């Protein structure tokens, strides 16, 4: 039973709201959710127990409580997992965690940026480019890099839905459009 994007976002926003009201450390909550997901994904038996609707809820909660103690989960994280378990949404856990991570990072002013270059950049060039991208984004950024030798040179930066094309290919295409329309 895969969740729709709306359901995933609803759960992610609910956890973000609860975490915010409780003053949870965002990084710790993200880590604990990830730890639980890794444990769940790594154990077929655990998934069978926690996702099986025929197993009584109190037995599932006992298993969850044992696991929460072993993993050192905060009460709010444990309770959120219990709610997802009760609503049979553990199968959507990875999607919900990804959505929560995006919400939490946006709340901290962290933007995702994707930089595509024609060739690998050295560390100094990366730092300089990342500083410029952070200025464009208006805050901190987490950058991922891709290579595309069709760019010929320069870089294409995507921050959210905004694309900044500083590639040679992009410049040539702009020049072509100008010449065609003249």
Q: Are residues 102 and 121 in the same domain?
A: no
Nearest to 95 by CA among 2, 182, 178, 167: 2
The residue out of 73, 106, 139 marking a domain boundary is 106
Task: Supply the CATH number for residue 14's domain.
Answer: 1.10.520.20
pLDDT of 80: 94
pLDDT of 135: 84
pLDDT of 102: 82
pLDDT of 108: 67
Q: Are residues 164 and 98 in the same domain?
A: no
The set of long-range contacts for 25-32, using a CB threshold of 8 Å and a minimum separation of 24, is: 26/104, 26/107, 26/108, 28/74, 29/74, 29/76, 29/77, 29/104, 30/97, 30/100, 30/101, 30/104, 32/71, 32/72, 32/73, 32/74, 32/77
Q: Are residues 70 and 145 in the same domain?
A: no
Q: Are residues 31 and 101 in the same domain?
A: yes
Q: Are residues 39 and 75 in the same domain?
A: yes
pLDDT of 169: 81
| Per-run averaged pLDDT (10 residues), the chain, 182 residues | 74 88 86 94 94 93 96 94 93 91 74 86 91 82 87 85 81 84 79
Q: Are residues 95 and 172 in the same domain?
A: no
Per the structure, the complete domain to which residue 79 belongs is given by 5-106
What ranges in 118-167 are assigned the alpha helix state H? 123-137
Q: Are residues 119 and 100 in the same domain?
A: no
pLDDT of 1: 45
Number of domains in the chain: 2
The residue out of 106, 128, 150 marking a domain boundary is 106
pLDDT of 96: 93
Q: Record the pTM.
A: 0.59
Q: Are residues 27 and 79 in the same domain?
A: yes
Q: Are residues 23 and 99 in the same domain?
A: yes
Q: Are residues 70 and 116 in the same domain?
A: no
Q: Are residues 68 and 117 in the same domain?
A: no
Q: Are residues 65 and 118 in the same domain?
A: no
């Amino acid at each position: 039973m895969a969740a729709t994007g709306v359901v995933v976002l609803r759960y992610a926003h609910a956890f973000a709201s609860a975490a915010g009201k409780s003053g949870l450390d965002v990084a710790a909550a993200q880590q604990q959710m990830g730890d639980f997901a890794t444990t769940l994904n790594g154990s077929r038996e655990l998934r069978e127990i926690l996702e099986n609707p025929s197993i009584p809820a109190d037995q599932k909660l006992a298993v969850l409580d044992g696991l929460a103690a072993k993993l050192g989960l905060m009460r709010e994280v444990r309770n959120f997992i219990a709610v997802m378990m009760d609503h049979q949404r553990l199968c959507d856990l990875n999607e919900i965690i990804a959505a929560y991570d995006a919400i939490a990072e946006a709340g901290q002013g962290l933007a995702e940026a994707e930089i595509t270059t024609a060739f690998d950049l050295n560390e100094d060039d990366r730092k300089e480019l990342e500083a410029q991208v952070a200025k464009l984004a208006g805050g901190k950024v987490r950058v991922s890099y891709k290579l595309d030798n069709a760019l010929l040179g320069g870089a294409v930066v995507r921050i959210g839905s905004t694309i900044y094309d500083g590639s040679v290919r992009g410049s040539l295409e702009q020049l072509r459009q100008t010449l065609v329309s003249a």
